[in-house]
């Protein structure tokens, strides 16, 4: 069974500069007969790109939103309005917490553009993920509640949650990742990896008792210190990963280091990229 991952939108432009790009992420995953949309970017422009790529999104089995930031969930409302069929939405149980970013002049809302009312008004099938490990099908999984295994992957102190009238540090308990089981190992799909890419990889390895074959998505190394980038690379070198397709919030500095250290397996996964030769 061929597994196909198409980047519908991402920060960087496509090879021919014909598609729309934005600060956001949306991936279409086709595996084992399932058609899954993982994140929806910030604007819904991924829908325009899907038309240009001749991709039909009307028969999605699931929509998975990795966490409650606007650049991953912002296009969901437009998606719902474009579909005739019922949407099956999978999110963490903390997904609708109000997320903010601390700026020099105060706090700016950077959470979801829709709420629970929108979900119920539009008759969306929603399932809230609570457990560490959730099977979508026999070989497609969701992961949550990632453990911390190191002291170098710190969550940026600019991210907050608003509860009542108080702002508290965001611990990103809402973050989920997707895994596709293959004979070569797990293909792991990340949204932003705010908890830390190595923490997520290690958590998934311990849950599944399997090696990680490939990693797609964001790694949130964009503002990482040199030490964090070097420690991340040191960890990745110890793994048996064969495909690294990081992007979005990984950052140019980290991508440059990753490319230098992993010449044969690293490639920036930009808008319009199609990966259909994974297994």
Residue-wise pLDDT tens digits, 16-50:
999 999 999 999 999 999 999 999 999 999 999 99
- Six-digit token string for 81: 């309005």
Statement: residue 2 has pLDDT above 90: no
Q: What is 195-216 written as a DSSP string?
A: T-HHHHHHHHHHHHT--EEEEE
Walk me through the domains of the chain, giving residue ranges and CATH numbers: 4-275 (3.60.15.10)
Spell out a b/e string for 120-145, using b for 16 or more CB atoms within 10 Å of the CB, else e.
eeeebeeeebeeeebebeebbbbbbb
- Per the CB < 8 A criterion, the answer to whether 181 and 141 are in contact is yes
| Helix then strand then coil, % of the chain, to nearest 5 | 20, 30, 50
Task: Over range 157-182, report the average pLDDT.
Answer: 97
Whether the model clears a pTM of 0.95, i.e. scores above it, the answer is yes
DSSP state string for 123-166:
T-EEEEE-SSEEEEETTEEEE-SPPP--SS-PPPTTEEEEETTE
Q: In what order do the strands lie in the sheet with 106-109?
A: 106-109, 98-103, 159-163, 166-169
DSSP state of 276: -
Distance CA 239, CA 121 (A): 45
pLDDT tens-digit readout, 187-230: 999 999 999 999 999 999 999 999 999 999 999 999 999 999 99
Strand partners, 127: 90
User: Which pLDDT value is given to residue 119?
Assistant: 95
Q: What's the average model confidence in pLDDT over 148-163?
A: 96
Strand 125-129 and strand 88-92: the pairing is: parallel
Supply the mean pLDDT for the chain: 97
CA atoms within 13 A of residue 216's CA, in its CB half-sphere: 27
In whole angstroms, give the CA distance from residue 189 to residue 28.
11
CA-wise closest residue to 221 among 189, 185, 197, 190 = 197
Distances in whole angstroms, Cα of residue 247 to Cα of each of 106, 124, 164, 231, 235 = 29, 30, 35, 19, 18
**Residue 1: its pLDDT value, please?**
63
List the structure tokens of 19: 């598609």
């Amino acid at each position: 069974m061929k597994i196909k991952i198409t980047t519908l939108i991402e920060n960087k432009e496509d090879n021919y500069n014909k598609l729309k790009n934005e600060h956001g992420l949306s991936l279409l995953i086709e595996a084992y007969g399932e058609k899954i949309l993982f994140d929806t970017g910030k604007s819904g422009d991924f829908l325009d790109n899907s038309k240009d790529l001749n991709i039909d999104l009307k028969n999605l089995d699931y929509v998975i939103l990795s966490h409650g930031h606007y650049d991953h969930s912002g296009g969901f409302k437009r998606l719902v309005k474009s579909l005739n069929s019922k949407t099956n939405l999978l999110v963490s149980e903390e997904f609708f917490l109000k997320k903010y970013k601390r700026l020099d002049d105060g706090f700016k809302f950077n959470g979801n553009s829709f709420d629970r009312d929108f979900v119920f008004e539009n008759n969306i099938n929603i399932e809230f993920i609570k457990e560490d490990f959730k099977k979508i099908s026999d070989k497609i999984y969701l992961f949550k509640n990632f453990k911390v295994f190191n002291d170098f992957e710190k969550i940026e102190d600019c991210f907050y949650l608003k509860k009542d009238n108080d702002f508290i540090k965001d611990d990103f308990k809402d973050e989920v990742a997707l895994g596709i089981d293959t004979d070569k190992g797990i293909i792991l799909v990340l949204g932003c990896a705010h908890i830390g890419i190595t923490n997520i990889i290690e958590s998934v390895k311990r849950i599944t008792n399997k090696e990680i074959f490939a990693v797609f998505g964001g790694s949130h190394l964009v503002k990482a210190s040199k030490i964090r980038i070097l420690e991340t690379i040191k960890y990745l070198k110890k793994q048996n990963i064969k495909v690294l397709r990081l992007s979005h919030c990984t950052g140019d500095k980290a991508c440059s280091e990753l490319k230098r250290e992993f010449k044969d397996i690293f490639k920036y996964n930009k808008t319009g990229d199609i990966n259909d030769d994974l297994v």
